[in-house]
Structure 1
Amino acid sequence: MGSTVLSLRIDGELLDRLKTHAAKRGMSVQDYVIRTLIRDDFDERFATSVEKTEAFYGAA
Protein backbone atom coordinates (compact mmCIF):
# COMPACT_ATOMS: atom_id res chain seq x y z
CA MET A 1 0.00 0.00 0.00
CA GLY A 2 1.40 3.39 -0.97
CA SER A 3 0.96 6.71 0.66
CA THR A 4 -0.54 9.97 -0.53
CA VAL A 5 -0.13 13.50 0.76
CA LEU A 6 -3.10 15.23 2.37
CA SER A 7 -2.73 18.89 3.13
CA LEU A 8 -4.97 20.57 5.71
CA ARG A 9 -5.47 24.17 6.69
CA ILE A 10 -6.39 24.49 10.38
CA ASP A 11 -6.40 27.40 12.79
CA GLY A 12 -3.64 27.94 15.32
CA GLU A 13 -5.76 27.07 18.35
CA LEU A 14 -6.65 23.66 16.96
CA LEU A 15 -3.03 22.99 16.00
CA ASP A 16 -1.92 23.86 19.52
CA ARG A 17 -4.48 21.41 20.97
CA LEU A 18 -3.35 18.70 18.55
CA LYS A 19 0.29 19.30 19.52
CA THR A 20 -0.61 18.99 23.20
CA HIS A 21 -2.54 15.74 22.70
CA ALA A 22 0.21 14.30 20.51
CA ALA A 23 2.96 15.27 22.97
CA LYS A 24 1.12 13.53 25.84
CA ARG A 25 1.35 10.34 23.81
CA GLY A 26 4.90 10.90 22.60
CA MET A 27 3.73 11.21 19.00
CA SER A 28 4.05 13.69 16.18
CA VAL A 29 0.97 15.68 15.23
CA GLN A 30 0.86 13.79 11.92
CA ASP A 31 0.91 10.39 13.64
CA TYR A 32 -1.69 11.51 16.18
CA VAL A 33 -4.08 12.72 13.47
CA ILE A 34 -3.61 9.54 11.39
CA ARG A 35 -4.25 7.28 14.40
CA THR A 36 -7.35 9.30 15.29
CA LEU A 37 -8.71 8.95 11.76
CA ILE A 38 -7.98 5.21 11.73
CA ARG A 39 -9.70 4.77 15.11
CA ASP A 40 -12.76 6.74 13.98
CA ASP A 41 -12.93 4.72 10.77
CA PHE A 42 -12.77 1.45 12.75
CA ASP A 43 -15.45 2.65 15.19
CA GLU A 44 -17.74 3.54 12.29
CA ARG A 45 -17.21 0.21 10.53
CA PHE A 46 -17.72 -1.69 13.80
CA ALA A 47 -20.97 0.14 14.55
CA THR A 48 -22.21 -0.61 11.03
CA SER A 49 -21.35 -4.30 11.49
CA VAL A 50 -23.24 -4.44 14.79
CA GLU A 51 -26.29 -2.79 13.21
CA LYS A 52 -26.26 -5.25 10.30
CA THR A 53 -25.88 -8.21 12.67
CA GLU A 54 -28.76 -7.01 14.84
CA ALA A 55 -30.91 -6.51 11.75
CA PHE A 56 -30.05 -9.99 10.52
CA TYR A 57 -30.76 -11.74 13.84
CA GLY A 58 -33.48 -9.36 14.97
CA ALA A 59 -32.55 -7.11 17.87
CA ALA A 60 -34.09 -8.11 21.19
Structure 2
Amino acid sequence: MNSLTPPCDDDHREQPESQVLSLRIEAALFERLNGHAAKRGMSVQDYVVRTLVRDDFDERFKASVERTERFYGHSARSAGGLA
Protein backbone atom coordinates (compact mmCIF):
# COMPACT_ATOMS: atom_id res chain seq x y z
CA MET A 1 0.00 0.00 0.00
CA ASN A 2 1.41 3.42 -0.85
CA SER A 3 1.29 6.25 1.68
CA LEU A 4 -1.51 8.06 -0.18
CA THR A 5 -3.97 5.19 0.18
CA PRO A 6 -6.21 5.68 3.21
CA PRO A 7 -6.23 2.79 5.66
CA CYS A 8 -9.09 0.29 5.50
CA ASP A 9 -11.11 -0.51 8.60
CA ASP A 10 -9.17 -3.75 9.02
CA ASP A 11 -5.78 -2.11 8.34
CA HIS A 12 -4.24 -1.39 11.74
CA ARG A 13 -0.80 -0.31 10.56
CA GLU A 14 0.38 3.09 11.71
CA GLN A 15 0.45 5.95 9.25
CA PRO A 16 3.90 7.23 8.25
CA GLU A 17 5.14 10.24 10.19
CA SER A 18 5.74 12.17 7.00
CA GLN A 19 4.30 12.45 3.52
CA VAL A 20 5.71 13.71 0.20
CA LEU A 21 4.28 16.85 -1.36
CA SER A 22 5.18 17.72 -4.93
CA LEU A 23 4.64 21.34 -5.85
CA ARG A 24 4.87 23.14 -9.18
CA ILE A 25 5.40 26.90 -8.92
CA GLU A 26 6.34 29.52 -11.47
CA ALA A 27 10.03 30.23 -11.94
CA ALA A 28 9.89 33.81 -10.64
CA LEU A 29 8.36 32.72 -7.34
CA PHE A 30 10.88 29.90 -7.01
CA GLU A 31 13.73 32.38 -7.50
CA ARG A 32 12.30 34.63 -4.78
CA LEU A 33 12.03 31.68 -2.41
CA ASN A 34 15.53 30.60 -3.35
CA GLY A 35 16.84 34.07 -2.53
CA HIS A 36 15.17 34.09 0.89
CA ALA A 37 16.48 30.59 1.59
CA ALA A 38 20.02 31.45 0.47
CA LYS A 39 20.14 34.43 2.85
CA ARG A 40 19.56 31.94 5.67
CA GLY A 41 21.88 29.25 4.29
CA MET A 42 18.95 26.92 3.67
CA SER A 43 17.53 24.92 0.78
CA VAL A 44 14.24 26.09 -0.70
CA GLN A 45 12.54 22.98 0.67
CA ASP A 46 13.80 23.63 4.20
CA TYR A 47 12.84 27.30 3.98
CA VAL A 48 9.26 26.50 2.86
CA VAL A 49 8.80 23.86 5.57
CA ARG A 50 10.19 26.21 8.22
CA THR A 51 7.79 28.92 7.05
CA LEU A 52 4.80 26.57 7.18
CA VAL A 53 5.51 25.36 10.71
CA ARG A 54 5.93 28.84 12.16
CA ASP A 55 3.54 29.47 15.02
CA ASP A 56 2.07 32.54 13.34
CA PHE A 57 1.61 31.01 9.87
CA ASP A 58 -2.13 30.41 10.29
CA GLU A 59 -2.73 33.97 11.46
CA ARG A 60 -0.62 35.46 8.67
CA PHE A 61 -2.34 33.27 6.06
CA LYS A 62 -5.79 34.26 7.32
CA ALA A 63 -4.81 37.94 7.24
CA SER A 64 -3.57 37.54 3.65
CA VAL A 65 -6.85 35.91 2.60
CA GLU A 66 -8.81 38.71 4.27
CA ARG A 67 -6.72 41.41 2.54
CA THR A 68 -7.19 39.64 -0.80
CA GLU A 69 -10.95 39.42 -0.28
CA ARG A 70 -11.11 43.12 0.57
CA PHE A 71 -9.08 43.97 -2.53
CA TYR A 72 -10.98 41.75 -4.97
CA GLY A 73 -14.23 41.54 -3.07
CA HIS A 74 -15.82 38.40 -1.70
CA SER A 75 -16.41 37.18 -5.26
CA ALA A 76 -12.75 36.08 -5.40
CA ARG A 77 -13.55 33.15 -3.12
CA SER A 78 -16.61 32.06 -5.14
CA ALA A 79 -14.75 32.46 -8.44
CA GLY A 80 -12.23 29.84 -7.36
CA GLY A 81 -9.46 32.32 -6.63
CA LEU A 82 -9.26 31.33 -2.97
CA ALA A 83 -10.14 28.13 -1.19
String of CA shifts for 1:21-57, please: whole Å, max 9, x gaps: 0000000000000000011xx2137xxxxxxxxxxxx
Letter in 2 for 1:15: F
Question: Corresponding residue for 2:28?
Answer: 13
- The TM-score with structure 1 as length reference comes to 0.65
Q: Which runs of 4+ in 1 moved over 2 A?
A: none
Unpaired segments of 5 or more residues in structure 2?
1-15, 60-83
Query: Whose helix proportion is higher, 1 or 2?
Result: 1
* Distance (whole Å) between structure 2 residues aligned to residue 9 and residue 29 of structure 1: 13
Structure of higher RCO (CA pairs closer than 8 Å, 6+ residues apart): 1
* Distance (whole Å) between structure 2 residues aligned to residue 28 and residue 3 of structure 1: 18
| Cα-Cα RMSD | 1.6
Count of residue correspondences: 43
- The TM-score with structure 2 as length reference comes to 0.48
Instruction: Kindly name which structure, 1 or 2, has the bigger radius of gyration based on alpha carbons.
Output: 2
Unpaired segments of 5 or more residues in structure 1?
46-60
Please say if 1:2 is aligned against 2:2.
no
